[in-house]
Structure 1
Amino acid sequence: MSRFEDLEVWKRSARLSASIYKGLFDLRDFGFRDQITRSSLSVPSNIAEGHERGSSKEAAQFFNYAKGSAGELRTQIYIGMDIGYIDRETGRAWLGEAEEISKMLHGLIRSIK
């Protein structure tokens, strides 16, 4: 695969990030909104950076960062649901997608090590 844009995990994580940005656009708690959008944006960004690196070791390192950000994102979604910032249906959808992205990243990391 020559382009990170061809990776399904990158496509899905970029779509999830865009969905979170759109879904929380009107949220007035700027600190929470900033934190959750940053973690969502970090997932596809680290996938892209890892893919563009010169070695498998560096790629795996950045894919691990992306996986960590996906875990951070899931935590923030749970909290957002608990405090009423994210409705349950949307939150469950985001959680499911973030979990699938984590699994895909795990497989990707294992395949290059």
Structure 2
Amino acid sequence: MIERKFRFEDLEIWKIAIEIGDELYDIADRLEEKKKYRFAEQLRGAAMSISNNIAEGAGSSSKPEFSQFLNYARRSCYECANILIISERRNYVSLTEKEALFARLEELSRKITNFQKALK
């Protein structure tokens, strides 16, 4: 049987986005346990938006369109970072956990930007 893949599955940025998304989902699950449903919902949506936009963009028929979806993905990294700041300020996540995810989100954001530049 032939294994079929979508184009985005081979992209490093998508793989990283999926890994970060898993970590953010774990935090969202913990937030939900604390009855912080809005925080959990917002974090899940932003986390999923990163990999979703990379995947959706990979299905674009043009490089400019793909680049626009990558821009949405990068912006979702920033949204996740903002939610983490608020969550840390409210003592829902530790400073250590926030900083570790910040580093990963910042690295992913840079990689997305570099990938966009390579598309041009």
Same fold by TM-score greater than 0.5: yes
User: How many correspondences in the alignment?
Assistant: 112
Alignment-derived partner of residue 66 in structure 1: 73
Partner of 2:98: 91
User: Pairwise CA RMSD of aligned residues?
Assistant: 1.1
Partner in structure 1 of residue 24 of structure 2: 20
1:26 maps to a residue whose letter is R
Letter in 1 for 2:47: S
State percent identity of aligned pairs: 30
State the 1:24 CA deviation: 2.8
CA contact (8 A) 2:54 2:70 kept: yes
Displacement, 1:79?
Answer: 1.1
TM superposition outliers: structure 1 runs of 4+ over 3 Å: none
1:41 maps to 2:48: yes
Alignment match, 1:9:
13
Query: Match for 2:110 among 99, 103, 109?
Result: 103
Name the CA distance, whole Å, in 2 between partners of 1:39 and 1:4: 19
TM-score normalised per structure 2: 0.89
Deviations 1:61-81 (A, max 9, x none): 100000111111111111111
Q: State the structure with more CA Rg.
A: 2
Q: SS of the residue aligned with 1:25?
A: helix
**Residue type at the aligned position of 1:47:** I
Q: Structure 1 unaligned segments of length 5 or more: list them.
A: none
